[in-house]
Amino acid sequence: MKKVKITVIKKFDPKEIFGHEIIRQSTGKPIPMCSMEKGKEYFVENIYEMPDDFCPRVWYETHDIITMFFYGGDFEYPEPGVTYVPCNDGVRPVIFKIEKIS
């Protein structure tokens, strides 16, 4: 059985990106960091099933890489079977490590 591991590597606070808080217009409150936990690992054993508690937006953004790994594709950097991918949330981005583990 093939398996892919996705690890939350780094989270950015909006203040790190913009130098100040970003205020949500609808509530008047600051936009917080992403709720995904740094260091959390998610395992994919079926390309049709998103891991529990995984962000649907990130699943959509990374699914092509996960599928490629399942079907034997690869990257040469930083090493075979490993790549790093940011989510596309420009206000509070997160970096993920995606790797083949079987």
- Mean pLDDT of all residues in 8-34: 94
Domain that holds residue 35: 4-100
pLDDT over threshold 80, residue 1: no
Q: Are 82 and 98 in contact (CB under 8 A)?
A: yes
- The residue type of 46 is N
Segment 25-47, tens digit of pLDDT = 999 999 999 999 999 999 999 99
DSSP 13-60: -HHHHHSS--B-TTTSSBPPPPSSPTT-EEEESSTTSPPTT--HHHHH
- Mean pLDDT of all residues in 19-26: 94
As a whole number of angstroms, the distance between CA 85 and CA 15 comes to 21
For the chain, the domain total comes to 1
pLDDT given at position 87: 92
Start-to-end CA distance of the chain, whole Å, equals 7
pLDDT over threshold 70, residue 10: yes
pLDDT band at 77, cuts 50/70/90? confident
Q: In sequence order, what are the residues at sequence separation of 6 or more whose Cβ sits closer than 8 angstroms to the Cβ of residue 13?
A: 33, 92
- Mean pLDDT of all residues in 41-56: 95
- Mean pLDDT of all residues in 65-93: 91
